[in-house]
């Protein structure tokens, strides 16, 4: 149960059901996973964490290495951006906001799509830790999407 004020300044009590609470907190888990994934990817790329293979690609002609590093950093930045959006969505979903449900559906679709792309294009590039995290994020995303699709009216 949460409390907020409507446009007239009056108190409005929102009773959040268990399913919506769960999906909200799962989104917080997704955000945590994405942050951990971004950090482990950076640490593994520069050999601090001995996982994955990305550091074996950071050699060769400088312009090729620059391009690989560029793509890699874009990947990390995208992951962090997803994490920030996931945190915002968590707050919105717990308050049963329609916009949060809409953004959450899009975000979960993107996370699921990214996961499948990573599995096709670069399996093992970022290591098993990243793969496990991505599978968990994929699971939450696809199951959460199913729940949200069926319960979208709760957020009206």
**Contact between residue 52 and residue 42 where contact means Cβ atoms under 8 Å apart:** no
Q: Return the range that interacts with other proteins (CB under 8 A); candidates 31-39, 76-84, 86-94, 146-154.
A: 146-154
Q: If binding is defined by CB under 8 A, does position 18 make contact with other proteins?
A: no
Binding test (CB under 8 A) with other proteins, winner from 5, 11, 50, 121: 50
CB of 45 to other proteins, least distance (A): 9
Largest CA distance in the chain: 64
3 beta partners: 13
Shortest Å, Cβ 66 to other proteins: 9
Rg (CA), the chain: 19
Among 89, 96, 100, 101, binds other proteins (CB under 8 A): 96
In contact, 130 and 37? CB cutoff 8 Å? yes
Distance in Å, CB of 53 to other proteins, minimum: 7
Sign of the four-CA dihedral 70, 72, 75, 79: negative
Stretch touching other proteins by CB under 8 A, among 25-33, 70-78, 99-107, 137-145: 137-145
């Amino acid at each position: 149960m949460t409390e907020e004020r409507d446009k007239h300044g009056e108190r409005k009590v929102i009773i959040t059901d268990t399913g919506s609470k769960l999906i909200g907190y799962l989104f917080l888990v997704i955000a945590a996973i994405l942050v951990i994934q971004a950090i482990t990817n950076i640490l593994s790329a520069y050999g601090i964490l001995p996982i994955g293979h990305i550091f074996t690609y950071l050699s060769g002609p400088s312009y090729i290495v620059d391009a690989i590093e560029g793509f890699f950093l874009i990947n990390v930045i995208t992951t962090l951006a997803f994490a920030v959006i996931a945190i915002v969505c968590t707050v919105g979903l717990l308050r049963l906001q329609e916009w949060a449900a809409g953004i959450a559906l899009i975000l979960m679709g993107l996370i699921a799509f990214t996961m499948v792309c990573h599995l096709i294009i670069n399996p093992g590039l970022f290591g098993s830790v990243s793969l496990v995290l991505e599978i968990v994020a994929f699971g939450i995303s696809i199951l959460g999407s199913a729940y949200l699709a069926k319960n979208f009216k709760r957020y009206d």
